[in-house]
């Protein structure tokens, strides 16, 4: 699968501290997503990457398996009462048996 992961995305991935990445991944596994959307068909992964980048998310994890491609994105946001918080997004593309694929976007706010 050809992706639209840019050199800037890869630079952010390399620069993101390992300790913070581990904490983010732990939160993702411990909490249910605030939102989850599944989009069927081609092109949704690339357009969602563009939207995440436009909205200020930075790439912090990238995994490619045989039929699945997963990315994790992170940005600083605002929590309740103006306190600092973070927002995380996991974007996953899965190949389907009948061609094309499905894109799943899950988001968390901490």
The Cα–Cα gap between 59 and 13 comes to 5
- What is the value of pTM for the model shown? 0.86
The radius of gyration of the chain's CA atoms, rounded to the nearest angstrom, is 14
Q: Tell me what the pLDDT averaged over the chain comes to.
A: 88
Out of 3.10.110, 1.10.10, 3.30.310, 1.10.1060, select the CATH number for domain 7-109: 3.30.310
Q: Could you identify the residue written with the tokens 């605030």?
A: 34
Q: What does the pLDDT look like over 10-36, one tens digit per residue?
A: 999 999 999 999 998 998 899 999 999
Query: Among candidates 4, 2, 1, which has minimal Cα distance to 59?
Result: 4
Q: How many residues does the chain have?
A: 110
Averaged pLDDT for residues 38-46 = 86
Q: Which helix (H) or strand (E) holds 68?
A: strand 68-78
């Amino acid at each position: 699968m050809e992706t639209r992961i840019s050199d800037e995305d890869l630079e952010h991935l390399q620069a993101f501290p390992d300790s913070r990445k581990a904490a983010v991944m732990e939160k993702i596994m411990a909490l249910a997503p605030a939102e989850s959307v599944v989009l069927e068909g081609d092109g949704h992964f690339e357009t969602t990457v563009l939207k995440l980048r436009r909205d200020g998310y930075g790439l912090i994890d990238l995994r490619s398996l045989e039929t699945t491609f997963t990315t994790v994105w992170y940005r600083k946001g605002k929590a309740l009462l103006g306190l600092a918080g973070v927002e995380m997004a996991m974007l996953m593309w899965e190949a389907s048996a009948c061609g094309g694929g499905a894109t799943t976007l899950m988001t968390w706010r901490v």
